[in-house]
Amino acid sequence: MQLKWGTYSFDANTNLIGKTVEVMWNEGGQPYKERRRMDVQGFLTGSGQAALTTAENALIAALQVQNQSLTLYQDGGTTESALLLSPTNSITGVRIVRGPDFTSTQGPEYATERKFSFTAEAEYPVSTFTLLSFTETLSFGGGGPQRDVFPALEGPPVSFLIYAQTPYEASQSGQATGWLDYPAIMAPIWPAFLKVAPKVTRGNPKRNGLVYTDFPVSWSYEFKSASPLVGIPNRWIE
């Protein structure tokens, strides 16, 4: 079997390859992407120090070119095995995140072979879930009497009843983070009692390889009513 990185071909049957998959979960306990990693160990062959130095430099140069396909081919060199990382559908591209490392100094090192290791990884979407996080809060106030205390010309301050009953007030605020785009904001729960215009804030997303992710948005509504405002916060929805 033969490993290839883009157009660079490793010597056949000279690599040990381990593959791991880590599933990433949003705050709602839903899987939305997975990180696939391939750990490669192998050796370069050559006759003498000069040949092995040339081979080492060629490997370093090849792995410096990011976002290539890392594929282990079956015998014959044309049919892909299950051990591969492809740029296709990857949101980060295939990246060399470690190496190549050359740490061996024993045996035939730099005489007939040169041992190396490196790690490649890529991230791929695994679902259509679009939210990474969501929270919303309702706060209530008003409805009771309003008092104030004023200083007196003589004696202690005096308490006065200003209003026997004050307007009922409520606030609705929340934030959500979308994975690959801005999520929709929640509508006001009591639109007929909006006190001021809604406040909506959108933050900048993060650059993650080939795409942008983590799109934050927040919203805030203020309400005022002559009667009690009753409701509960919105729940996480998709």
Does 103 share its domain with 147? no
Does 80 share its domain with 142? no
Does 96 share its domain with 147? no
User: Does 20 fall in a domain?
Assistant: yes
Is there a contact between 28 and 54 (Cβ–Cβ < 8 Å)? no
- Identify the CATH number of the domain in which residue 79 sits: 3.30.2000
User: Does 234 fall in a domain?
Assistant: no
> What pLDDT, in 10s, does the model give residues 65-95?
999 999 999 988 789 999 999 999 999 999 9
Range of the domain at 171: 131-225
pLDDT category, 109, cuts 50, 70, 90? confident
Does 98 share its domain with 190? no
> What pLDDT, in 10s, does the model give residues 36-46?
999 999 999 99
Q: Which token pair is 110?
A: 């730099």
Q: Which residue has the tokens 């799109």?
A: 215
pLDDT of residue 238: 65
Q: Which of 111, 115, 116 is nearest to 48 (CA)?
A: 111
pTM of the model: 0.80
